[in-house]
Chain A
């Protein structure tokens, strides 16, 4: 085997491993003064990493390790989207990590986060179910540690336990499904397996098991029960990472596998997705209306957003893939902005995360309130913000394939979602509060991240070149 191919095509993962090693070493070696610069060091490192890998170097797909690892330019784009998300999380996590009881865990946070990112990268690029599973596990096990990182505070430890238990159960089901596929087709390679897929009842059952495993990661209804508790208990920075980066990676991986492997079974998984989409969007929307805690609220909002993302998956077209990636990117900046504000308020007001605490936020912290509002508008799909465009594209993708009723139901749900997003806008701008969150100035890196998110919310939709750029590389059935 020509080992130079590894460096030619696996450059993202290798660079990421280098970043992880750098983080580990820095954590070990740095003295007291060095640790103060740890945050800046990591952010600059991530920035360099993104700058180096954002544009795909090769325009053709390639297989290495005998097809275990598949390089494709579109996967490269997704990886850079995930890396940008990680950078935003790092930027927002500084004030939380500065706290006395977390300061010494700073290194762990970076290394664990980057490990999950590495796992997702492998999962996206895998061409073999074993590789896929390893990637998935690498993405979920460190995630459980991250969720429980604040173990002496709130319900962090409980959230971590819930997460790892559900994750293991889902992984078990998934492995079970994969084993059926191995039994019926005799291979675990994506390319070879497609030839043996014939839609026999056993394979349909196996596909449902496989889907369950990923459905858990994406937190689709009915696999969503862990979501709200975990989101609430986890440290806010981890919650935003969990809700955006991990979700986007799993959604994309799901789409790739469905297209590549389960192409012959399209009608089965489209039916499956059809039901799951309706359930996810509707159930999550109805639950979100009743939430009183911002993190739980965004947990349900993210479940319904995941349902919307699946609209792109169900289409199975190249255009659908483009809109999935674009949606994930837009959703990422909007959700990161919302979580950034929540995190800033939480850190500066002694842990206030209730919706009532946001009453009158505009009077005391106008800028944060405006950013929150724009983020919510983008999530709700209000023009001229990016969310409007991304929603329009996924609706078009599903509509094109004839899912008219499904799109209609999803559209009606956008009105419900607008209702609960407006409840927060109402709290911040209209409601009165005798004890509002005091005026504060959040730290520099949070402000930087919010600014980046804001720029994303405004620019991503209006600048069509980003969508067109992704569209160059997408593939479908």
Chain B
């Protein structure tokens, strides 16, 4: 069995294990064993991949494997990874691992919660390893539907409304993707569903591409929080339970960017070049609008959700620039944003679990009460606003560097506009930190609260190590990504 197939297989086995487990100890045992295994496997995958590259294997996708599934439609179960997918798999494994610990204190229907959580990760991992359009789409939808119950049952606030809104908007997006996939399949002569083979055929007529490109881009863009289709994201994130917010903002939103890049742009290159300006404008709006909206929110989760809109907008913005530097930056940003947001949501969940409020007007002086969580919150904030040495800086630097390299006025102007988001981010992050962490605590109830427990510390530390690791030593990761981005970009441009 191919090592890649283990990634969706392990969560499936975890689901089986959860199904037969009888008490909370067994559930935790299954989850810890499974998610540690996934994390170990993902790290091993990085080394295997780098080793294979070092051995001189230059094929675009490595570790490929396929078997025919539905012959009449040329549907295969086909897997394979390049540097981008390896990075995404690593990210997902880290988030699943930390998400498990972040929901350690879950009390209501623990078993069902983790069952859905595992199904979500089946979809996520399956999506990143697939190179077949149908299989990819199938895993994409597998990842979407558990969100409904995860938010609807275990969420807070206006959870039913948010869950329904999120599910329907994302499913609307996936309806667009489906018709786009059919368009690509039949447009390329209905001989294969394999991504790389379709790209190699490169025979979809440009006038058809003009129809399918916007459809697929918007389809994935809904999940990537593309303005004006981002409205599910703040409500959804704010209502979701901690681990789900982490996985959703951290990984699931990356499916959107990844799909836009890998399917919409890679397979429909001519249309991508022609129509990219429309989406560049939309993503620029996402970036700036998200940041401004975050400034005026009072709910911790909403602030972070809008900040996600802004940062995910940056991912789409960067891939639309269509050069290697910016696209490498986009993948780095996916990684960095995934880790940062997961850290943020984990911390917010922990603070909320103690104070039972997420309203920044009711929180103050937390630094003295829970120093560990507060320091971590500061670190997450600094990573978010792009402090050098942390992952956010590396990603944003690469993106803006690449985006500005295009020497026409339009690209430079939008880059400058998008750059302002860095300043706005600093505004809301610093204001937030100043308000809730420093000053004196006004609520006497809060004085009795305690700092993080071991499970929370573990989750938070793993994420911070990853963020700092990416920030301090970005080269091994960015080299791996850029060499995989290169063939895709050169395919789009030629």
A-B contact pairs, 23 of them (CB 8 A): A382-B141, A382-B145, A383-B139, A383-B142, A392-B134, A392-B178, A395-B179, A396-B182, A399-B183, A400-B186, A404-B179, A404-B183, A411-B179, A414-B171, A415-B168, A415-B172, A419-B168, A429-B149, A429-B152, A430-B149, A430-B160, A464-B69, A471-B72
- B175 at interface by CB-CB < 8 Å: yes
Residues in B with CB closer than 8 Å to A407 are 179, 182
4 smallest CB-CB distances across A and B, nearest first, come from A411-B175, A383-B138, A399-B182, A415-B172
Q: Is the CB of B168 within 8 A of A396?
A: no
Residues in A with CB closer than 8 Å to B73 are 393, 396
- A260 at interface by CB-CB < 8 Å: no
What CA separation (Å) do A418 and B44 show in the bound complex?
A: 39
Residues in A with CB closer than 8 Å to B172 are 412, 415
Closest CB in chain B relative to A361 CB, distance in Å: 14
B281-313 with Cβ < 8 A to chain A: none
Given contacts A395-B178, A399-B186, A419-B164, contact A388 B141 (CB under 8 A): yes
Given contacts A396-B182, A400-B186, contact A430 B70 (CB under 8 A): no
B135-174 vs A, Cβ < 8 Å mask (1 yes, 0 no): 0001101100100110011000000100010011001100
Q: Is the CB of B70 within 8 A of A468?
A: yes
What CA separation (Å) do A422 and B171 show in the bound complex?
A: 12
A348-390 with Cβ < 8 A to chain B: 377, 382-384, 388
What CA separation (Å) do A129 and B172 show in the bound complex?
A: 43
Q: Which residue of A lies closest to B212 (CB)?
A: A404
- B190 at interface by CB-CB < 8 Å: yes
- B71 at interface by CB-CB < 8 Å: yes
Residues in A with CB closer than 8 Å to B182 are 395-396, 399, 407
What CA separation (Å) do A99 and B164 show in the bound complex?
A: 40
Given contacts A399-B186, A400-B190, A414-B175, contact A322 B138 (CB under 8 A): no
What CA separation (Å) do A467 and B75 show in the bound complex?
A: 12
Closest CB in chain A relative to B172 CB, distance in Å: 5
What CA separation (Å) do A384 and B145 show in the bound complex?
A: 11
B182-206 with Cβ < 8 A to chain A: 182-183, 185-186, 190
Residue from A388, A395, A425, A464 within 8 A of B149 (CB atoms): A425
Q: Is the CB of A426 within 8 A of B152?
A: yes
B383-396 vs A, Cβ < 8 Å mask (1 yes, 0 no): 00000000000000
Closest CB in chain B relative to A156 CB, distance in Å: 36
Residue from A392, A418, A467 within 8 A of B171 (CB atoms): A418
What CA separation (Å) do A404 and B185 show in the bound complex?
A: 13
What CA separation (Å) do A322 and B72 show in the bound complex?
A: 10
Residues in B with CB closer than 8 Å to A383 are 138-139, 141-142
- A319 at interface by CB-CB < 8 Å: yes
Q: Is the CB of B145 within 8 A of A388?
A: no
A424-442 with Cβ < 8 A to chain B: 425-426, 429-430
Residues in A with CB closer than 8 Å to B72 are 319, 322, 467-468, 471
Q: Is the CB of A422 within 8 A of B179?
A: no
The interface of chain B, by Cβ under 8 A from chain A, is 69-73, 75, 134, 138-139, 141-142, 145, 148-149, 152-153, 160, 164, 167-168, 171-172, 175-176, 178-179, 182-183, 185-186, 190
Q: Is the CB of B164 within 8 A of A415?
A: no
* A383, A408, A415, A418 pick with most chain B CB within 10 angstroms: A383
Q: Which residue of B lies closest to A381 (CB)?
A: B141
Residue from A377, A399, A426, A471 within 8 A of B145 (CB atoms): A377
Closest CB in chain B relative to A203 CB, distance in Å: 32
The interface of chain A, by Cβ under 8 A from chain B, is 319, 322, 377, 382-384, 388, 392-393, 395-396, 399-400, 404, 407-408, 411-412, 414-415, 418-419, 422, 425-426, 429-430, 464, 467-468, 471
* A392, A393, A395 pick with most chain B CB within 10 angstroms: A392
Given contacts A384-B142, A468-B71, contact A426 B160 (CB under 8 A): yes
Given contacts A415-B168, A426-B160, contact A388 B175 (CB under 8 A): no
Residues in A with CB closer than 8 Å to B186 are 399-400
Chief secondary structure at chain B's binding surface = helix
Residues in B with CB closer than 8 Å to A396 are 73, 182, 185
Q: Which residue of A lies closest to B123 (CB)?
A: A383
Given contacts A319-B72, A407-B182, contact A415 B175 (CB under 8 A): yes
Q: Is the CB of B70 within 8 A of A418?
A: no
Q: Is the CB of B168 within 8 A of A430?
A: no
Q: Is the CB of B164 within 8 A of A422?
A: yes
Q: Is the CB of B70 within 8 A of A464?
A: yes
What CA separation (Å) do A411 and B73 show in the bound complex?
A: 19
What CA separation (Å) do A468 and B178 show in the bound complex?
A: 22
Closest CB in chain B relative to A31 CB, distance in Å: 46
What CA separation (Å) do A437 and B388 show in the bound complex?
A: 59
Q: Is the CB of B142 within 8 A of A422?
A: no
Residues in B with CB closer than 8 Å to A404 are 179, 183
Residues in B with CB closer than 8 Å to A464 are 69-71, 75
Residues in B with CB closer than 8 Å to A418 are 167-168, 171
Q: Is the CB of B148 within 8 A of A467?
A: no
Residues in A with CB closer than 8 Å to B178 are 392, 395, 411
Residues in A with CB closer than 8 Å to B176 are 411
Other than the given A415-B171, A418-B167, A464-B71, 16 more pairs (CB < 8 A) read: A322-B72, A384-B138, A388-B141, A392-B134, A395-B178, A399-B182, A399-B186, A407-B182, A411-B176, A411-B179, A414-B171, A415-B172, A426-B160, A426-B164, A430-B149, A468-B71
What CA separation (Å) do A467 and B182 show in the bound complex?
A: 19
Closest CB in chain B relative to A385 CB, distance in Å: 10
What CA separation (Å) do A400 and B185 show in the bound complex?
A: 10
Residues in B with CB closer than 8 Å to A408 are 179
Residues in A with CB closer than 8 Å to B171 are 414-415, 418
Closest CB in chain B relative to A155 CB, distance in Å: 33
Residues in A with CB closer than 8 Å to B141 are 382-383, 388
Q: Is the CB of A430 within 8 A of B167?
A: no
Q: Which residue of A lies closest to B173 (CB)?
A: A415
Q: Is the CB of A429 within 8 A of B167?
A: no
Residues in B with CB closer than 8 Å to A377 are 145
Residues in A with CB closer than 8 Å to B70 are 464, 467-468
What CA separation (Å) do A429 and B167 show in the bound complex?
A: 16
Residue from B69, B148, B164, B175 within 8 A of A412 (CB atoms): B175
What CA separation (Å) do A429 and B134 show in the bound complex?
A: 30
What CA separation (Å) do A388 and B141 show in the bound complex?
A: 10
What CA separation (Å) do A395 and B176 show in the bound complex?
A: 13
What CA separation (Å) do A419 and B164 show in the bound complex?
A: 8
Residues in A with CB closer than 8 Å to B71 are 464, 468
Closest CB in chain B relative to A389 CB, distance in Å: 8
Closest CB in chain A relative to B427 CB, distance in Å: 38
Q: Is the CB of A430 within 8 A of B153?
A: yes
What CA separation (Å) do A375 and B309 show in the bound complex?
A: 35
Residues in B with CB closer than 8 Å to A425 are 148-149
What CA separation (Å) do A104 and B152 show in the bound complex?
A: 46
* A393, A399, A430, A468 pick with most chain B CB within 10 angstroms: A430
Residues in A with CB closer than 8 Å to B179 are 395, 399, 404, 407-408, 411
What CA separation (Å) do A396 and B75 show in the bound complex?
A: 12
Closest CB in chain A relative to B472 CB, distance in Å: 40
What CA separation (Å) do A464 and B77 show in the bound complex?
A: 11
Closest CB in chain B relative to A211 CB, distance in Å: 27
Q: Is the CB of A388 within 8 A of B168?
A: no
Residues in A with CB closer than 8 Å to B149 are 425, 429-430
Q: Which residue of A lies closest to B138 (CB)?
A: A383
What CA separation (Å) do A407 and B176 show in the bound complex?
A: 11
Q: Which residue of A lies closest to B134 (CB)?
A: A392
What CA separation (Å) do A418 and B153 show in the bound complex?
A: 18
Residues in B with CB closer than 8 Å to A415 are 168, 171-172, 175
Closest CB in chain A relative to B139 CB, distance in Å: 8
What CA separation (Å) do A468 and B139 show in the bound complex?
A: 22
What CA separation (Å) do A207 and B178 show in the bound complex?
A: 34
What CA separation (Å) do A44 and B179 show in the bound complex?
A: 45
Closest CB in chain A relative to B51 CB, distance in Å: 33
What CA separation (Å) do A70 and B167 show in the bound complex?
A: 48
What CA separation (Å) do A394 and B489 show in the bound complex?
A: 35
